[in-house]
Structure 1
Amino acid sequence: MPAIAPLPVTLTGRHVRLEPLSPDHLDDLFAAGGGDDEVWRWQGGPTPRTVQELGEKLTTLLAEARRGVYVPFAVIHLGSGRAIGWTTYLDVDVTDERLEIGWTWYGRAHWRSAVNTEAKLLLIGHAFEELGMGRVQLKTDHLNVRSQEAIARLGARREGVLRRHRRRPDGTWRDSVYFSLLAEEWPEAKSRLAARL
């Protein structure tokens, strides 16, 4: 089947629900990660110190979503019913059957929990199984070792590094480490991720 572009959709697991991001999530999101330098360290731009500053980031993301650049999701922790972060589909290319998962953050209280594993299980599964994608890619700053380890635990393969790829907010240059997972690799990766949950 030919690949199709992602649309806003709700994806539900045992620990998290991914639902279309909206301004209604702002207060929960700020409570989860607003003002936390460690949460925002690798996100680009300054740490949002107020609800208004996080609202500006959210508004920018939603404007890009309306232009078709991103498909953003709020990550809802089912135990609390509250939004604890966001994640997006981006760089979608239906012709070449690929997309990227990125601009992901979670409140620090949910690091090293089932949240990231299940969110990625839902997103990657949707990309391969419903959207017909052949490749899902993820990238991160070469200095963000925690993120690289988390991506590798998903079963994604490290492909290489784009040097001097992006300017950081402080003016230094980031190298971007790229990872990917292919459709034929997904069944084995899916089994491993499901077992980890």
Structure 2
Amino acid sequence: MQIDFNLILQNKTIILRPIKDSDLENLHQLTADSNAWKFYTHDLSDFEEFKDWVKPALKKDRFQFVILLKENNEIVGSSAFGNFSVRDRRIEIGWTWFAKKHQGTGINSQVKQLMLEYAFEKLYIERVEFKTDVLNAQARASLKNIGAIEEGVLRSHTLMAKSRRRDTIYYSILKSEWNHIKRENEW
């Protein structure tokens, strides 16, 4: 399992390309609503926290994409591959967020489709993991909608923005489930 850090994924509507230093100002402009980050580990509306959040991506400890609309090249959000385990053939998809006006538009499903196809069909991953705040009903519904299986809750697992402790809920899709999920979602 080797991720190409120059990887670009795309369909008819969106492009996922690696984050660059030159994207930071445009990305940060999309994060102005501090209320949007209550389910996030960093308050990305604060530029110092935003820079702290993006450090692992710029150091290639996490493969962070920017998400662009093909029609106008507008940056609409970000998502990533992280927590790679070559030995276990496991990867996590997460660190996903969208500008407010693009939430609930179906872009998230398209992003997940592209990333899942790459993980299972190019990297030959055995397990793709997702995790979120147990209180984040919207993220949980999105994960169930793409066919991810709820696995369980890790209590007081993660420190969130504003010093709250998060109970983290895990989801996954296994290689053996992928073809069925792909057909069910008409991908």
Q: Give the TM-score normalised by the residue count of structure 2.
A: 0.91
Cα deviation per residue 1:22-55 (whole Å; 9 max; x = unaligned)? 1222343234x22112432222222424xx5476
Q: What does 1:22-41 correspond to in 2, within 5 Å? A: 22-31=20-29, 33-41=30-38
The correspondence for 1:12, drawn from 10, 13, 32, is 10
Query: In 2, are the aligned partners of 1:7 and 1:71 still within 8 Å (CA)?
Result: no
Change (3 A) 1:178 1:58: closer
Q: Distance in 2 between matches of 1:183 and 1:57?
A: 33
Percent identity of the aligned residues? 27
Cα distance in 1 between the residues matched to 2:112 and 2:121? 13
8 Å CA contact 2:40, 2:161 repeated in 1: no
> Residue 28 of structure 1 contacts residue 84 of structure 1 at CA under 8 Å; is this kept in 2?
no
Contact 1:134 1:183 in 2 (8 A): yes
The answer to whether residue 83 in structure 2 is matched with residue 85 in structure 1 is no
The Cα shift of 1:85 comes to 1.0
Cα 1:96–1:13 change in 2 (3 A) is same
Partners of 1:86 and 1:156 lie apart in 2 by 20
Unaligned segments of structure 1, at least 5 residues: none
Separation in 2, partners of 1:170, 1:59: 18
Matches within 5 A, 1:161-172: 161-172=153-164
CA distance in structure 1 between the aligned counterparts of 2:165 and 2:49, rounded to whole angstroms: 24
1:151 correspondence with 2:150: no
| CA distance 1:63–1:143, shift in 2 (3 Å) | same
> Which residues of structure 2 form unaligned runs of 5+?
none
Equivalent residue for 1:122? 114
Aligned residues: 186
User: Is the counterpart of residue 61 in structure 1 residue 56 in structure 2?
Assistant: yes
**Counterparts of 1:19 and 1:47, CA distance in 2:** 20
1:41-75 CA-partner distances (Å, limit 9, x unpaired): 222222424xx54762465133441xxx2111111
Which residue, out of 160, 167, 176, partners 1:175?
A: 167
> Which whole-Å CA distance do the structure 2 matches of 1:101 and 1:178 have between them?
11
CA contact (8 A) 2:109 2:146 kept: yes
